[in-house]
Amino acid sequence: MKWLSGFRNSIVLILLAGVLPLASAHADELGVTNDSILFGQVAALEGPSAALGQAARQGLLAAFSELNAKGGVYGRRLKLVSRNDGYDPDRSVVETIKLIYEDKVFALIGAVGTPTAMATAPIAASNDVPFIGPVSGAEFLRAPEFQNIVNIRASYAAEAEATIKHLTEELRLTRIAIFYQDDAFGRDVLAGVKTYLDRRGLELAAEGTFERNTRAVGAALKVIRRAEPEAVILVGTYGPCAEFIKMSHRSGFNPTFSAVSFVGGNALAKELGPEGRGVIVSEVVPFPWDTDRRIVADYQAAMKTLDPSQTPDFIGLEGYITGRLVARALAMTGPNPTRAELLRIINEVGQFDIGGLVVNFGSARKENPPQVSLTVIQSDGSFKPI
């Protein structure tokens, strides 16, 4: 009902200004006290993929700190406890269980990675814990049985479609290979790439794989180089993808490289230095340097307040958007939030304007799916939208 939606939006503005009285709030849910709401994150905070987890964490903290400075939600501050899984599914299970049973978090937020989410999402579901904003575009996270998962980013299939469209229709390339992480993440993207090549009457020129959390890419390079592709789609984190590009250049193999967003564009550019020039990266958030967009200006201001040494980051912005969404939805749940009510609000309201960026859920998401954009790394490590 439109009048109800308008009423809720008005209440949100009041709540975010910290105006509603504290006396009406009391705690009846795990993770909720009279003055705080606790969220838990499991991500790679150390190890070869740490830049991804750290960026997502910083974005969440920026959003929470920004809200808390305004009085929180019904006087409650949003708090985040982050645990390191090293991008390892087994460790992720252990840390997720600790968050649920020891820390007793209200919700899980900003989990980083597909293989880790595949191991932990069922745990969250069986405990009726919201699983919000996973940094993964995997298809299984969109399965109807996971009613507790709140997906914000576009799917890997959507990224594959945008990439293949650009390579084949705009660059006019037909011989395309793929270098991918040999697990659920890599195979999810592989399936999307094959689908959108097939729709154009094309097949992959070659496939090369590597093991997660390693830089052992030599065997994959030999297989792919032998096929002489014009382009190689990279599906992995920044370390192995940078190693693959550098080894390719050293061997005189210089196709067009295009990476999926989970690579961590900022970290990839840093790893590559001048060798990053021309590498394409698909992204699922607005351009983090476009301060004409209010969400980006808000993000940059919040990051500067939290830590002036931080620079704009694609995954950091994703974390910030996730944090802003949670704050907005919590404000709509009323003074006594529950996990179930938070999920109901997100799915039934359906559309949330987050600093000028509209994030959709439920039927609204089907009509207005999340957008994918393409960027290209410049010789100085900066990015340019395509």
pLDDT greater than 70 at residue 360: yes
128 lies in some domain: yes
Over residues 293-321, mean pLDDT: 97
pLDDT greater than 90 at residue 3: no
19 lies in some domain: no
98 and 174: one domain?
A: no
173 and 47: one domain?
A: no
Distance CA 187, CA 35 (A): 44
59 and 204: one domain?
A: no
Q: For residue 381, give the amino acid letter.
A: G
Q: Where are the beta strands (DSSP E) in the chain?
A: 36-43, 77-84, 107-109, 131-132, 149-150, 176-181, 206-210, 231-235, 256-259, 280-283, 351-354, 357-360, 373-377, 383-385
pLDDT attached to residue 292:
97
Give the pLDDT band (50/70/90) at residue 283. very high
Helix (H, G, I), strand (E, B) or coil at 355: coil
2 lies in some domain: no
Strand ordering across the sheet containing 77-84: 77-84, 36-43, 107-109, 131-132, 149-150
What is the SS3 string spanning 197-248?
Answer: HHCCCCCCCEEEEECCCCCCCHHHHHHHHHCCCCEEEEECCHHHHHHHHHHH
pLDDT, one tens digit per residue, over 46-101 is 999 999 999 999 999 999 999 999 999 999 999 999 999 999 999 999 999 999 99
257 and 330: one domain?
A: no
> Which residues, 6+ apart, have CB-to-CB distance to 60 below 8 Å?
39, 41, 80, 109, 110, 319, 320, 322, 323
> Which residues, 6+ apart, have CB-to-CB distance to 2 below 8 Å?
none
pLDDT attached to residue 19:
31
pLDDT, one tens digit per residue, over 138-158 is 999 999 889 999 999 999 999
pLDDT attached to residue 249:
98
Cα 274 from chain centre? 26
379 lies in some domain: yes
Mean pLDDT taken over the chain? 93
271 and 378: one domain?
A: yes
Distance CA 172, CA 166 (A): 8
101 CB burial (10 A radius; 0-12, 13-18, 19+): exposed
pLDDT, one tens digit per residue, over 168-201 is 999 999 999 999 999 999 999 999 999 999 999 9
43: β partners: 84
207 and 247: one domain?
A: yes
Which CATH number covers residue 86? 3.40.50.2300
4 lies in some domain: no
203 and 132: one domain?
A: no
368 lies in some domain: no
pLDDT, one tens digit per residue, over 7-34 is 333 333 333 333 333 334 455 799 999 9
125 lies in some domain: yes
> Which residues, 6+ apart, have CB-to-CB distance to 147 below 8 Å?
125, 343
Is 265 within 8 Å of 281 (Cβ atoms)? yes
43 and 53: one domain?
A: yes
217 and 175: one domain?
A: yes
Over residues 301-327, mean pLDDT: 97
- Which one is predicted more confidently, 187 or 6? 187
139 and 65: one domain?
A: yes
175 and 237: one domain?
A: yes
* 106 closest CA partner among 80, 73, 137, 68: 80
252 lies in some domain: yes
Domain total for the chain? 2
pLDDT greater than 50 at residue 222: yes
Q: Would you list the DSSP string of 103-126?
A: S--SEEE--B-HHHHHHHHHHHHH
Over residues 157-171, mean pLDDT: 98
120 CB burial (10 A radius; 0-12, 13-18, 19+): buried
380 CB burial (10 A radius; 0-12, 13-18, 19+): exposed
What range defines the domain where residue 132 resides? 32-154+290-355
Distance CA 70, CA 55 (A): 23
H/E stretch holding 270 reads helix 265-272
124 and 212: one domain?
A: no
